[in-house]
Amino acid sequence: MSWRRSINKVGQTHPKAARAAKWLSSNMGVKRYITILFVSMVTLMLGFVHFVWTGSLRWVATSWILFFNRFTDPAIMPLWAVGLTVMILSLAAAIWSIIMLNRSVLRSSGVALEDVADRIYASRVLGRGPRIVAIGGGTGLSNLLSGLKQYSSNITALVAVTDDGGSSGKLRKDLGMIAPGDLTDCYAALSDSPVLAKLLLHRFARGEGLEGHTFGNLLLATLSEERGTLEDAIQDVNQVLRVRGQVLPATFDSALLVAQLEDGSEIFGESKLSTERQGRRVDRMRLIPPDVRTLPQVLEALEKADVIIIGPGSLLTSLIPAILVPEVAVALRRSSAPLIMVANLFSEVGETDGLDLEGHHRMLEEHLGRSADWVLVNSSPVDVRTLTRYRAEGASLLTEEGASSNFRVRLRYAPLLEGGGQHEPQLLAKALVDLIPRAGLLGLGGRDLEREKVEA
């Protein structure tokens, strides 16, 4: 287990111990300066002895030695032990004074002392982590991000913004902005401040005009109004919320998601898909208007990425909408970075019921024009209660059963569950990091995942 993974594991139960361990991590720039401090102090003491003993102040050294010798009995403690004790106490006092000086400066600057190790660790250690682009939306993407941020701060969350229901739908209608809901979830997942993350996700349960909205959605709406557009405010948001990486919408243009069904009819609006589909197969998804633009930062992130991850999440309403942006699709096809699709655990009632695991990948491939290099599949058994509940709702467990040989070679298995019906963020992030080519050079793992199937 790498040092970084050990810190992540310890941090789950002993945060203070994890913070102490972070100071000893590679690239923190702490161990080298502790060593320099120790060597400098020893050199200073030796230089002082040489200066006094060889110069005209030998009497000072003699008086100093005789003074300390008065406090010990040679029969009990050797005289040299007195000098060693004085050296150790002096060194400890010097280190203590440096620590207290730093604390005084940090308090004056408004930085919480318990956050110092985390901030430096994120900047110096995680800043050297793999460049990751994660595409999607909803709970699946925010869960993924909360795990990935323990391995890298070079994360770009590319978020679908076509939601037209709930709080996002109201703000889209009233203010003409893009859907902020999934952006808020991602900001909360990547924020280095637990307090800010909790505030962003707070949903008002009462109040005329406030009920149903989250604080994060209202914050984004406020910044959009204050700066003219959310596009102009996006960098401010990333800085204010202390985001580990960056959160970017797939487009800043307001677009309507349209589903084309097998019988030729169409459903307009993401929120209507599950209610109006009525068992008919979805053949194609598109946007109105089709030529929406993306940000230069999105294209730059895709070009420099070490790995691109899509999923987990709703195939038709979270994953595909993000890649329907023309510039994003072109950049994904041109990218040399491996594309990893995280398979959902179950099909989604009202959207992908009737589609098997390979069918999910095929639909993604048809819209993107590129296949996933690997499809990450859960190998942990799903508990009976969860399995029964999902099946009662009409969902089916996604497995490789019936898949073609060409598709099976793309499958990679890893344990991704710890009970329940959702991916466990830390397990998912660990499995993905093991697939990243640069991971081996970064001390993160870099091994090929086992491809043995574990029956659910």
Report if residue 133 sits inside a domain.
yes
* Distance from chain centroid for Cα 8: 13
Report if residue 43 sits inside a domain.
yes
The confidence score (pLDDT) of residue 446 equals 52
The confidence score (pLDDT) of residue 106 equals 67
Same domain, 349 and 266: yes
Please tell me the distance from the alpha carbon of residue 134 to that of residue 140, in angstroms, as a whole number.
11
Same domain, 343 and 375: yes
- Please work out, in degrees rounded to the nearest 5, the angle formed at the alpha carbon of residue 84 by the alpha carbons of 78 and 85: 95
Same domain, 385 and 327: yes
Q: 10 Å Cβ neighbour count for 415? A: 16
Q: 10 Å Cβ neighbour count for 55? A: 10
The confidence score (pLDDT) of residue 441 equals 46
Report if residue 339 sits inside a domain.
yes
Residue 414's DSSP bridge partners are 378
Same domain, 63 and 147: no
The confidence score (pLDDT) of residue 452 equals 42
Report if residue 88 sits inside a domain.
yes
Same domain, 339 and 408: yes
Is the backbone peptide bond immediately before 289 cis, with ω within 30 degrees of 0? yes
In tens, the pLDDT along 347-390 reads 998 899 889 999 999 999 999 999 999 999 999 999 899 999 99
Q: What is the CATH number of the domain that holds 264?
A: 3.40.50.10680
Same domain, 398 and 313: yes
**Domain that includes residue 77, residue range:** 3-123
Same domain, 415 and 282: yes
Please tell me the distance from the alpha carbon of residue 426 to that of residue 312, in angstroms, as a whole number.
14
CA dihedral of residues 398, 402, 405, 407 (deg, nearest 10): -30
Report if residue 78 sits inside a domain.
yes
Report if residue 214 sits inside a domain.
no
Report if residue 144 sits inside a domain.
yes
Please tell me the distance from the alpha carbon of residue 116 to that of residue 336, in angstroms, as a whole number.
37
Domain boundary among 107, 123, 139: 123
Same domain, 107 and 136: no
In tens, the pLDDT along 106-127 reads 676 656 656 666 666 666 667 7
Same domain, 268 and 364: yes
Contact between residue 435 and residue 449 where contact means Cβ atoms under 8 Å apart: yes
Please tell me the distance from the alpha carbon of residue 103 to that of residue 387, in angstroms, as a whole number.
52
The confidence score (pLDDT) of residue 82 equals 79
In tens, the pLDDT along 160-192 reads 999 988 888 888 888 888 888 999 999 999 988
Per the rule left: phi > 0, alpha: psi between -120 and 50, beta: everything else, 353 is beta
**Mean pLDDT in the chain?**
84
Same domain, 261 and 393: yes
The confidence score (pLDDT) of residue 444 equals 57
Same domain, 430 and 329: yes
Global pTM value: 0.78
DSSP annotation of 440 = G
The confidence score (pLDDT) of residue 195 equals 85
Contact between residue 185 and residue 139 where contact means Cβ atoms under 8 Å apart: yes
Q: List the chain residues with pLDDT less than 70.
A: 1-29, 106, 108-125, 437-456
Same domain, 152 and 84: no
Report if residue 140 sits inside a domain.
yes
Number of structural domains the chain divides into: 2
Give the tokens for residue 175. 């203010």
The confidence score (pLDDT) of residue 45 equals 79
